[in-house]
Amino acid sequence: MQRAGWVLCGLTFVGGAQGADADWPTYGGDAAKTRHSALADINRRNVSSLALAWTYDTREKGDTQTQPIVVGRAMFGYTPTHKAFALDAATGKQLWLFDPGIEGVGANRGLMHWSDGHDSRVYSAVDNFLYALDAGTGKPVAEFGTQGRIDLRENLGRDPATQSVRLTSPGVVFRDLLIVGGRVSESLPASPGHIRAYDARSGALRWTFRTIPQPGEPGFETWPKDAWQYIGGANSWPGMTIDEKRGLVFVPTGSAAADFYGANRAGDNLYANSLIALDATTGKKRWHYQFVRHDVLDRDLPTAPTLLTLTVKGKRIDALAQPTKQGYLFVLNRDTGEPVFPVEEVPAPRSDMPGEITAPTFRRPTRPAPYARQSLSARDLTRRTPEAHAWAKAAFEKIVSDGPFKPLTLGRDTAIYPGFDGGAEWGGPAYDPQSGLLYVNSNEMAWLGSLALNDTGRSTGKSIYLRDCGACHGETGQGSPPQFPSLRNLDGRMKRVDFAARVRAGGGRMPAFPHVTHDAMDALVTWVYDGRDIPAGDPDVSAANQAYRFTGYRRWLDPDGYPAIAAPWGTLNAIHVESGKVEWSIPFGEFPELAARGVKDTGSENYGGPLVTGGGLLFIGATIHDRKFRAFDKTTGKQLWETALPYSADATPITYRIDGRQYVAIFASGGKERGGAAGGVYLAWALPEKTMP
């Protein structure tokens, strides 16, 4: 393999002495996922002087959500179609571009980097594959897997041709191991959420931890006896955290499939909705903590935990902080998994669905306090206009709103609050070791959901659509753009053969459906394009064909398209973890058209996390309506700087230093803008050279 000398000459750390180069070598900044840098050249006093240093336009469109990494002088990232690239991080000049010949779609949040001091590689995820690329040339490393790649559908104990596993967030590197999870379908059939470690050199599988236990494994008793053969999910899609000193990898997991009706998976369902501490060398479990038992509300852990050290009652504790979609921040002991602060077992609403047995309680930490509102009543409805309030009041009377963890019911909408996208999301928090503050941005949106009866005795195009497509694209194909596009009037936008190929391969938030037969695909295409319901072959009598189905993800919006609840609709929060006190909380984001009419500081939905620095600053993009990139005083929450972006930045920023100059960079794609443009541009700012310290 060719040596990548220009990569290896850089120092791999975040922060350092004045003037020394500093990398951003991994997703999240460091193994502990602190999103913190000690760099202080850009600080409170001079941040207002930041100027655009360079841009790199991929000339593609898509919601990739990438946080690039920087090693030496090289920045590694993705284009929206998942081509990996390397740039000169000081100039934005492209050094190489790797086109795998597969068009990727949707989230691909970062790459992994590994070096043994001789070879330097980056690992690029595309579709169901993981490629090893020479960091200096971008060429596949032939000795890795098969001609430079491994197939993540293999070694799952199921037919690889019917599986779908993708890395929407990168795995982690520990010594010579690549440890990965993956995104799988949220409806049945779905791949299991195995955690796997591969040899960084050869791509050989070194160990596997099964999150849906098989006979003889701990946790098997929390499922029906044959669930491991047909249940999927319990997967780790948001990435992981490494404790390098202890040799532990902390693995957050999501729900078991199907997400919203679990009669065929009775029990607590370990290790879904859990944080699992594994020996990073062997994959053996040290401990686990389950946040939600028998989840039926898609309460995945949305981000990897952040490692920190606290002093509690005079005792130093190596801990971790785990944000959740529900707006809770759990703090656990890294050695034992025990909560550092008391956790309450709160009586939970029960399900009224036939065959569904939900957990009798849910877990709620006593501190820190929640960073998102926890209840939705008539007092919490929008007052943006009298007309909007009257509409929301009438609509609310028809909605079930019974507090946290109320299961969905048949034929009537239930309010999910915080919504299906949190609370916290995949951007994760930033932790400042200087102050002990943890910063987390939060969505404050109500979503609606319900269940409907499946016609399990028939197999037609319509029944396949409702079972496999309706949850995201809606019962009538209306969608919820931009995340879930409308499927109405597709003839002018997509050829039928391309639609069928996209269904089989997946793309964006849509999983692949490789199991769909030829007859079933013909029937599905006929239903979507022509509205005719024709037979699709033999009825599906498998465990995947349940009696009830989810009717779709829907934000609760008023007739004008704004949230039907009172502002703020998004917040940015600083939490002192030791004391549990919220030091400050501010509305985060706004709608430009409302702000122009004097309705400011409403907050808005936000996707992508913060970056905190030794210069006293908190940088964050994330807001999806105003296309802003901002810097705040990390102590007070006062905004010190903002700049307009070409598209909203649904990604997390980074900082690094090259040749004594500090840069701050972010990726902007506008992938979650409603009705707005979408692109794919990387931007970097620095102080003008004459004003540098």
- The Cα–Cα gap between 272 and 545 comes to 21
State pLDDT tens for residues 596-633. Answer: 999 999 999 999 999 999 999 999 999 999 999 999 99
Amino acid at site 491: D
* H-run or E-run covering 520: helix 518-530
Q: In this structure, is residue 407 part of a structural domain?
A: no
pLDDT of residue 538: 63
517 domain residue, yes or no: yes
Structural domain contains residue 493: yes
pLDDT tens-digit series, residues 72-124: 999 999 999 999 999 999 999 999 999 999 999 889 999 999 999 999 999 99
- φ/ψ of residue 265, rounded to 5: -140, 50
470/453 Cα distance (integer angstroms): 13
CA distance 493 to 498: 10
Q: pLDDT tens digits for 549-559?
A: 999 999 999 99
For residue 102, what are the CA distances in angstroms to 145, 206, 598? 18, 27, 47
Mean pLDDT of the 510-528 span: 80
Domains identified in the chain, total number: 1
- Residue 531 sits in which domain range? 457-540
Rounded Cα distance between 360 and 476, Å, is 35
User: Which CATH number covers residue 470?
Assistant: 1.10.760.10
At 226 the pLDDT is: 95
Burial (Cβ within 10 Å: 0-12, 13-18, ≥19) of residue 504: middle
d(CA 460, CA 536): 5
Q: What is the pLDDT of residues 625-661, one digit of tens each?
A: 999 999 999 999 999 999 999 999 999 999 999 999 9
pLDDT of 1 above 80: no
In this structure, is residue 2 part of a structural domain? no
Confidence of residue 193 (pLDDT cuts 50, 70, 90): very high
Whether residue 128 is predicted with pLDDT greater than 50 in this model: the reply is yes
Tell me how far apart the alpha carbons of residues 536 and 625 are, in angstroms, rounded to a whole number. 42
Quickly tell me which residue has 């948001």 as its tokens.
238
- Tell whether 329 is covered by a domain: no
Indicate whether 580 belongs to any domain.
no
For 632-642, what is each residue's pLDDT tens digit? 999 999 999 99
Range name among 149-153, 529-533, 641-645 with the lowest pLDDT average: 529-533
Three-state DSSP at 317 gives: strand
468: nearest Cα among 416, 533, 546: 546
Tell me: the pLDDT tens digits for 427-462? 999 999 999 999 999 999 999 999 999 877 678 888
Q: What is the mean pLDDT of residues 22-51?
A: 98
For residue 545, name the pLDDT band (cuts at 50, 70, 90). Answer: low
CB of 180 within 8 A of CB of 203? Answer: no
Quote the pLDDT of residue 676: 61
